[in-house]
């Protein structure tokens, strides 16, 4: 059984944010993590397919980092990487975030 809630907030001219909150019980830790990851992947793929952003107004972080290449396209992501490298040549600011390389 899965418990799912959602609400809409933070509306801008470009659109708004949909918060999805889910909970489930799974005593096996590995299985729980696998289920959690799969739920997120299905949701983020659905967002991507309809042209929605998978980014969040609080940031991208680690959870959605792997989706940044897909969201911006290869060329767009290369531009972001170049900006990151120019502003942070030693990669000390949030390494591994937004899909950029870790240290």
Number of other CB atoms surrounding residue 23 within 10 Å:
9
Q: Exactly one of 12, 19, 36, 72 is catalytic; which is it?
A: 19
Q: How many CA atoms lie within 13 A of 28 on its CB side?
A: 4
Tokens in use for 30? 């590995």
- Cβ atoms of 65 and 48 closer than 8 Å: no
For this structure, is 36 an active site residue?
A: no
- What distance lies between CA 70 and its chain's CA centroid? 11
Active-site residue list: 19
């Amino acid at each position: 059984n899965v418990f799912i809630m959602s609400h809409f907030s933070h509306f801008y001219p470009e659109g708004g944010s949909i918060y999805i909150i889910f909970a489930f019980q799974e005593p096996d830790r590995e299985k729980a993590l696998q289920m959690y990851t799969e739920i997120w992947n299905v949701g983020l793929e659905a967002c991507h397919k309809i042209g929605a952003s998978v980014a969040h107004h609080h940031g991208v972080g680690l959870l959605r980092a792997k989706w940044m290449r897909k969201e911006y396209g290869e060329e767009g992501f290369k531009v972001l990487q170049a900006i990151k490298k120019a502003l942070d040549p030693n990669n000390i600011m949030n390494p591994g975030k937004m899909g950029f390389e870790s240290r």
